[in-house]
Structure 1
């Protein structure tokens, strides 16, 4: 490849997901810099992405989805877990359930307490507010005028309110704003919608700015390695349409490929645990043992209730088909009605025991019967409720299966390896079952499906959990931020021991936040854009002096 054939920009971003879209939009606000965004997936043109209820079909057909699987999980009785991640502009924000949740302030204060200056709650709240246009209006916790539209559901299903009433009957307070002064309680979620459509990071940040002359968005571009000169990142090699291409970066290369693919790309580039790289014949550029370590996720289990007479709930039946046709017509006409649902309309944050200082469990109430991530066809009508563990102690890893950049990474979340995780989920399942048994829901004469109905003792519930638990799609931590020997980036998100290279996505989280991860990743993108621009204003390239713990 001749040097004249290689495009050169100032900032080269790998991954057009939530953080990548933010970075592309914010960095290209300066007309004097050239920005390029590489995304392995296609443009976000599918109607299933933009219609909120389309996520149900996206789950079934695997469209816009990497569709990874884990290694067999001993904690899940040897099962392989499903790991859906967005493979499309907008990344997982184009295929998720659109819940806007930030986590608990203690999560971020914990990051700062570990030595990550500038990442405490008071530091990150302005970035949450800057990113947001909340249709409820601005206050101490919320912003208006930001790119990301956040709103109450346009046509909420009445069963979301029924769940909230059941939660109140079980003794939990109602919470009308999980992102306000208090997180605990049950309530309806706010969502990333606008005018009855999904409002992904691509729609919020990229779409309004695609006309900028200094912003290049390249889809179908699968990054295969970071190109280095010495210890400085200077570009990215990628495959597109069966051809190998390269793009160069004058200032920085920024990896925003997510918690599963950013560490894989680092390892393919010779950055990571030396023994693993050598085992796959990859020359070691920089022995950085923490790359791929510290993988953790919100492990989750679902109770499903059959309610055949409640035909207003989503379900496969003649009545359900009639409702769906009416919903399609209404959504096409006015962007209102049944198809504006995100399915998980209601939920809550609760404590597994009174001894917990803050919520350690999250509930998602779904207005349909959800089995195997929605991939299995289930006839009839009913509802479901998830309970997920917000701060698991189990830690796993991401590694390589081969040196082939098109191969899937080796994903081992090590779910339920720590006994404390199992005990909390057992308590959480019992708390969830208690809510679903309250009069507001029990009056509809639903019946718990047999898979869980027979689990009554703690031992039986544990067996059910191990046979059915899986991710609720929030992997983090594999390029951990910090100053320890297994940390990968510093508080500026620069890769330890290298120059011109940052990681900006969920992989940098030292510990997972107590809530859905999309809003926090958008916040990380917003803050990272300021960090990058501050380095440019300082008139220097972002050179990072290696720690003593990093080999020279």
Structure 2
């Protein structure tokens, strides 16, 4: 039986950070177990390859939710990384820390030590910011690029719109003034995706005390006398038990972390008994408190060339592909999302309530969710899009079978509070005001159906129910908090009721942050590692 000091389940955004930080001083051995395979893929490394990895079952769990009554009875598609680097290897690359108030809310929810002043230190520790001119600020392993010079020139209309509306414009939504329309920073380096695996895991693997095992499906956590002592793993060669001398750390993501805890007998007692799983510790919060962002696109044909003009024709794909291979520049070096930001739909609000995505591209969504690639439309077009930043609805993720390979049952419970419905109407009204500005009227040849401009509140909401989609930010299914009456872990990410077990990933968020969740997940893991190392010095000195 192989033994390690720490076993990390999942080589995703959080697990890669833990592997690096826990092994850096050479004092502890670390085993990282990843259910997926290698991230050595052209389409993973190429930023715009997001469209190629979106429906690729080799590197993507390709989850679907249950039919949701408040979104037209539709099932939502949830891509999740099943590959080294996890979702940081297949996401849209946007780096958003979140609003400072998000973390004050974490602290208020019982996550002691997770306020803005505490987490800002860890953001600064992980970041190296590449400026427009190539200069680098910061000394962290995660490279974040300012790609303003590469974004499409038609984006100027969005900034003209903001100026016309009196809407704030900010240089960087991760800077001292995060509110406003901006061009998004992305996690790239030299034109290539710079995932958590690139930043943290690959340097760690050069150390003799770090071991990565790919294609390793963890079926359960081994718990003895209420202490996690190891994991049982399904490998291509068969089942194997790995022993943890110090801790098991679950970093399998907001879908798979609660699933693994439940398969291990930690979770809702009635459900576990129904599935024939021996109850180790009862906590109904395991899998509960799920939150996610919903967004919607409004499509317009444009009066001038946009990214469609560059990437829709076959010769454009060839030209831009050659440009990228030779120079690592051009639209293939960018995120599918170029501009946006955090704004208030009403000036009287205390904080931004909407995140915008403003993109010089349109594409047709495949209804079957089986398209191998997302292709731009054969005419110039652009998108105005919003997502309410702080939904209050809560759903659940629970196992649907005791079989480890079976997908869990995801019940998002979208739009189940009046606040969330009000936020949708506010976002739709904001888009209407944006579309009526002179700047957008100059840019828009015509609206593609459905046209939001003629909608009343009821029509905005009805259209949102019919067309909205996940922005792929599930969190909080193993949330941290004061006690197990409301949470799964304490403020040090320790699972209530089980010694030697932590959950470190986005499932531990007490509540969703205002924007994209990859940056706060990496930050959380960095701070968690410092807590683990401090605990190690106390307990194993």
TM-score > 0.5, shorter chain as reference: yes
Deviates more, 1:417-426 or 1:60-69: 60-69
Q: What does residue 139 of structure 2 align with?
A: 145
Mapped partners of 1:481, 1:149: distance in 2: 28
CA drift of 1:430 comes to 2.3
Distance 1:65 1:367, change over 3 A: farther
CA drift of 1:162 comes to 2.6
Q: What does residue 248 of structure 1 align with?
A: 243
What's the secondary structure of 1:102's corresponding residue? coil
CA drift of 1:521 comes to 0.4
CA drift of 1:286 comes to 0.5
Q: Give deviations 1:182-220, integer Å, cap 9, x for gaps.
A: 222101111111001111101111122322111111111
Q: What does residue 548 of structure 1 align with?
A: none
TM-score (norm 2): 0.94
Mapped partners of 2:165, 2:55: distance in 1: 34
Task: Please give the residue correspondences for 1:350-499 in structure 2 after superposition, counting only pairs within 5 Å.
Answer: 350-372=343-365, 375=371, 379-381=377-379, 382-453=381-452, 456-484=455-483, 485-499=485-499
Q: Is 1:164–1:347's contact at 8 Å kept on the other side of the alignment?
A: no
Q: Give deviations 1:398-434, integer Å, cap 9, x for gaps.
A: 1111111100111111011112212211221221233
Mapped partners of 2:451, 2:395: distance in 1: 27
Mapped partners of 1:86, 1:466: distance in 2: 27
Distance 1:173 1:532, change over 3 A: same
CA drift of 1:313 comes to 1.6
What's the secondary structure of 1:339's corresponding residue? helix
Task: Please give the residue correspondences for 1:121-136 in structure 2 after superposition, counting only pairs within 5 Å.
Answer: 121-136=116-131
Q: What does residue 314 of structure 2 align with?
A: 321
Q: Is 1:324–1:338's contact at 8 Å kept on the other side of the alignment?
A: no
Distance 1:267 1:149, change over 3 A: same
Task: Please give the residue correspondences for 1:303-322 in structure 2 after superposition, counting only pairs within 5 Å.
Answer: 303-307=298-302, 310-314=304-308, 320-322=313-315
CA drift of 1:540 comes to 4.1
Q: Is 1:343–1:367's contact at 8 Å kept on the other side of the alignment?
A: no
Q: What does residue 208 of structure 1 align with?
A: 203
What's the secondary structure of 1:450's corresponding residue? coil
What's the secondary structure of 2:206's corresponding residue? coil
Distance 1:63 1:167, change over 3 A: farther
Task: Please give the residue correspondences for 1:43-122 in structure 2 after superposition, counting only pairs within 5 Å.
Answer: 43-122=38-117
Q: Is 2:361–2:376's contact at 8 Å kept on the other side of the alignment?
A: no
Q: What does residue 26 of structure 2 align with?
A: 31
1:162 aligned onto 2:157:
yes
CA drift of 1:242 comes to 6.2
Q: Is 2:301–2:448's contact at 8 Å kept on the other side of the alignment?
A: yes
Mapped partners of 1:61, 1:353: distance in 2: 40
Q: Is 2:290–2:395's contact at 8 Å kept on the other side of the alignment?
A: yes
Mapped partners of 2:305, 2:237: distance in 1: 49
Q: Is 1:316–1:378's contact at 8 Å kept on the other side of the alignment?
A: no
What's the secondary structure of 1:80's corresponding residue? coil
Mapped partners of 2:309, 2:254: distance in 1: 34
Q: Is 2:130–2:137's contact at 8 Å kept on the other side of the alignment?
A: no
Mapped partners of 1:35, 1:346: distance in 2: 39
Q: Is 2:94–2:516's contact at 8 Å kept on the other side of the alignment?
A: yes
CA drift of 1:314 comes to 2.6
Mapped partners of 1:236, 1:502: distance in 2: 13
TM-score (norm 1): 0.92
1:334 aligned onto 2:327:
yes
1:523 aligned onto 2:523:
yes
CA drift of 1:316 comes to 8.9
Mapped partners of 2:445, 2:12: distance in 1: 39
Mapped partners of 1:365, 1:240: distance in 2: 44
5+ residue gaps in structure 1? 1-5, 542-552
Mapped partners of 2:526, 2:200: distance in 1: 11
CA drift of 1:143 comes to 6.0
Q: Is 2:359–2:384's contact at 8 Å kept on the other side of the alignment?
A: yes
What's the secondary structure of 1:49's corresponding residue? helix
Mapped partners of 1:531, 1:109: distance in 2: 19
CA drift of 1:470 comes to 1.7
Mapped partners of 2:301, 2:232: distance in 1: 51
1:501 aligned onto 2:501:
yes
Distance 1:452 1:39, change over 3 A: farther
CA drift of 1:223 comes to 1.1
